[in-house]
Structure 1
Amino acid sequence: MNHLLCGLAANDNLPSSLLDRLIAVADAEVADPLADRADLSRAQAVALAARVAESGVPLAYRGRLTAADVDPVARPDVALALLDTGAAPAAWARLLAADPVVEHREKLAACPGLPPDVVETLAADPEIRVVAEAALWAPAQVAARLAAHPHAEVRRMVGANEATPPSVLEALVTGDGLPAARHCLVCDRRTSPFAHDPHGPRPDRDLPPWASCDGAHASTTHDLLYAALRNPTTPAGALVGFVDHPSHLLRRALAARRDLPPSVYELLASDPDPGVRAGLAENPAIGDAPIRALADDDCHNVRRGPAHHPGVPLDVLIAGHHNATAPALLACLDDEARPVAAGHPALPQSVVTDLVAGADLRSAEAPAANPSLPHTVMTELLPPPPVRAGSPGGDAEPAAPGPRRGRDRRTR
């Protein structure tokens, strides 16, 4: 790496003439900060893309290149970037839908605003990766049709697509009304039954460590359910039965939803998996009963959630926490947390003084112990000092022996 050239490329005060010279000698490392310059002209962007091929995609995403600057046949990667930003003609999408490179068709399937005929072409692609990507971004009618696709991976992507109709998502979860899937990525690659040993070597790196298939496509079906549980369009009524599912990952996804009946949240508050309870504690949709249960949880990560919950009851609320703020403490003074809040050093001095001066001596104990209590008030709270000897009205008292004068006889 030429650090000096990289530094110049990022210098906001670099003159345009020197910028041209820098583009002429740029490599991939210098091109990266050059592509990010706000003063890069269109001509300079075209020159940089011609000099360093890798800079074409970031230049397209940053709006430095236009469709007029790019040949989609010579630079399909840059053309895809422009399609992804909506800055390329529809004809390019039709051209790239027939690109022999699978990765290009897969990237095209994720681009927004594709013409309907291109979506249909991608949904019928011979490569499952392309069809699955199309299923993830397809409009409602196409997604509904792909829900019955014979490949489980395509169905999984339909389950994650928020444009999928709710009734179709419910059918994916329950299996009602859909033919059984015949293939998955696992049985495409390995002879069924197959399961990765999670603690052993992975013979197929394209498959996740939990991959398994015994003919029912277990791992892909599990991933489909997880996607549907996380999809806000999936009807809550189809999901409540997962509250006691053996998969903690599915129960964690359920705990994050904001549209479940209160009774489901109450059951999840006692889930044996702390990850489920911690996720539930951060869910703003839960009510008082789960909040109170989670506030007393044995796991610190779970208890932390109710402290930040917008609906936490005041008697459950950071009052003794060292980071508690004055407004939070003031709110706690009218609740059962009053003794703890009254002793917190973040409470304003004037409030502490008023609490000490209150009629209830037991309630005054906490503010009297508050380090924010002014010294003058501390003095006023103490009883008057006893009358010393020799003072008016007092009896004589022997004087304490003073320091010895002269050398101690025991020393030499």
Structure 2
Amino acid sequence: MNHLLCGLAANPALPVHLTSRLLDLALEAGARADAATGPEPSRDFPDELICGLADRSDLGRAQVRALAAHDEATAVRLAYGGTLTAADIDPAVRPFAAVALLDERRGLPEWAFLLSASPDPFVRRKLACCPALPPDAADALAADPDLEVVTELALWTTDPAVAARLARHPHAEVRSAAACNEAVPPAALAALITGDGLPPAASCLVCDTKDVPFVHDPYCPDVDCELRAGAACDGSHASTVHEIRQRALRNPATPPEAATSHADTPWMLLRWALAERSDLPQEVYALLARDPMPGVRGTVAENPAIGEELIRIFAAEATPPERRALAHHPRIPLDVLVTLARTTKTGPVLLPRIAAATAEELVELAGSAHASVRMLVAERRDLPDGVRDALAADPDAAVVKAIAPHPGLSEGQLRGMLARHGVPVHARVAANPDAPGALLAELARHEPPVRRALRAIAGHPNATSEALVPCLADRRARCEAAAHPALAVPVLLGLLDDADEELARAAAGNPSLPRSVMEDLVGRYPEPGVTRPVS
């Protein structure tokens, strides 16, 4: 029964009075679990039920407050879910929920300074992640004795003055966090890369706990060791300094002239970080395009900032993985993309250049003699009717698979695809938003079952009960089918007693479940505070 009540808690059609009843049951069960002595009782049922109720959008203020009063985790869930307000909690009692509201910019500003003095370092760490903290709270957190608090503030603060100060912090770990933060002023980010005008860091996580020189064993036997792989320090905090440079190079706020100083660095991770930037001179990209590491070259190939000249060089000389990356470039010339498509598998995705193609270009590509090129066009979902219809009649099954989910196709066109190409296009036809219920039912009854088609049908808004019943036999489709509002009530009721609790729970959450059945399921539990009679 517990799993059915958890399913009901998520049912959008649950009447208001039953929501209240489930809330009373959940809070009572939670209180019993909290008060139990002896072996620790299972909290799975009350916790799952409370989570399901907390996610509802139709809760009243009193219900929200009752849930928030139950425990901190539920209050935080309500805060991020948008139903908890600042008036519903006391930050001294529910500090994490107060932090969550501040994180959502719905808390009271004065809470920030109050919570910055919390004796719980975990509260202060969460607070340091919040955007737009008042200056007094940010200053308090910047001076916090807990290094993790200061590190989180360095990573997330949106105040440039605070960010700049933390970029010069004596601990290298704080500087490393600041190197990721786009609020750090460009000059300070440049200093993190070059070291110019920046005093050396005084410590790092390695020399905080180990005698230097020290290099962390990649096969460290200490299960409690928290040092990162490759951590090393000889007094210069080498591994953290390297990490600082890598992060600063990836930071788009870092001036490009500071970044280019590392174009010929021997460190592969620094070159890789540089290859991701979109503001470098073309000669730097050309240098990186000749990098000995495939990952660096592949990143350059898909970088939207590289020019046509480099794109054409890549297309002529690149390896297959680099050609795949190049195909995803948003400004690749169409003639280059067409050439790549003949020899490079890009997968069933809409490429950026195809998404930006003009109507005239689409017509030209759709008329290509190469099926691989027509497939690229078929992945668009806003094609002109003429182009769409021509691709729907394509003799190549791969092209038809790509176009089958396109909206606007008629039932006749979809049936024509099935008649010509059979099982290979079943799943994609089933995913068409305009596929009628009768066609979906035919696809669902196919023997042997086409599993991917069943999974598409299970969530299809046009699916009928006849189409959904075969989906219940598929392990991955059955729960979605059980929750589908078109499922016939007799079938739905049978699922409530299924041995698969996950399936039964999905059925209990179906909005088509009769109200009388909901009443009966909740009624099997005694009223809160009432003891069950002993039989």
Q: What are the within-5 Å matches in structure 2 for residues 10-409 of structure 1?
A: 10-26=10-26, 27-138=46-157, 139-202=159-222, 204-297=224-317, 299-319=319-339, 320-321=341-342, 331=361, 341-344=368-371
CA distance in 2, matches of 1:52, 1:118: 26
TM-superposed deviation, 1:316:
1.9
TM-superposed deviation, 1:345:
8.2
Query: Is residue 333–residue 342 contact of structure 1 (8 Å, CA) maintained in 2?
Result: no
CA deviations on 1:228-282 (whole Å, 9 max, x unpaired) are 1111110011111322323222211111100000000011111111111111111
CA distance in 2, matches of 1:63, 1:113: 19
Match for residue 532 of structure 2?
none
CA distance in 2, matches of 1:170, 1:179: 14
CA distance in 1, matches of 2:361, 2:108: 59
Name stretches of at least 5 consecutive residues in structure 1 with no aligned partner.
349-369, 373-412
- Which structure has more relative contact order (CA 8 Å, sep 6+)? It is 2
Q: Which amino acid aligns with 2:63?
A: Q
CA deviations on 1:108-156 (whole Å, 9 max, x unpaired) are 1111221111111111111111112222233111222222221111111
Q: Which amino acid aligns with 1:65?
A: L
Match for residue 468 of structure 2?
none
Query: Is residue 72–residue 97 contact of structure 2 (8 Å, CA) maintained in 1?
Result: no
- Range 110-119 or range 293-302, more displaced: 293-302
Q: Which amino acid aligns with 1:121?
A: A
Residues 241 and 93 of structure 1: is their aligned pair in 2 closer, same or farther, counting only changes over 3 Å? same
Q: Which amino acid aligns with 2:292?
A: P
CA distance in 2, matches of 1:271, 1:332: 35
CA distance in 1, matches of 2:322, 2:207: 39
Residues 264 and 55 of structure 1: is their aligned pair in 2 closer, same or farther, counting only changes over 3 Å? same
SS at 1:221 equivalent: helix
Q: Which amino acid aligns with 2:53?
A: L
SS at 2:179 equivalent: helix
Residues 180 and 21 of structure 1: is their aligned pair in 2 closer, same or farther, counting only changes over 3 Å? same
TM-superposed deviation, 1:54:
2.4
SS at 1:160 equivalent: coil
TM-superposed deviation, 1:200:
4.4
CA distance in 1, matches of 2:189, 2:88: 43
CA distance in 2, matches of 1:211, 1:33: 43
TM-score, normalised via structure 1 length: 0.77
SS at 2:57 equivalent: coil
Runs of 4 or more, structure 1, over 4 Å off, are: 322-325, 327-334, 343-348
The structure with the greater share of residues assigned to helix is 2
Q: Which amino acid aligns with 1:91?
A: E
Query: Is residue 109–residue 133 contact of structure 1 (8 Å, CA) maintained in 2?
Result: yes
Match for residue 502 of structure 2?
none
Query: Is residue 68–residue 89 contact of structure 2 (8 Å, CA) maintained in 1?
Result: no
TM-superposed deviation, 1:197:
1.9
Query: Is residue 31–residue 52 contact of structure 1 (8 Å, CA) maintained in 2?
Result: no
Match for residue 4 of structure 2?
4
TM-score, normalised via structure 2 length: 0.60
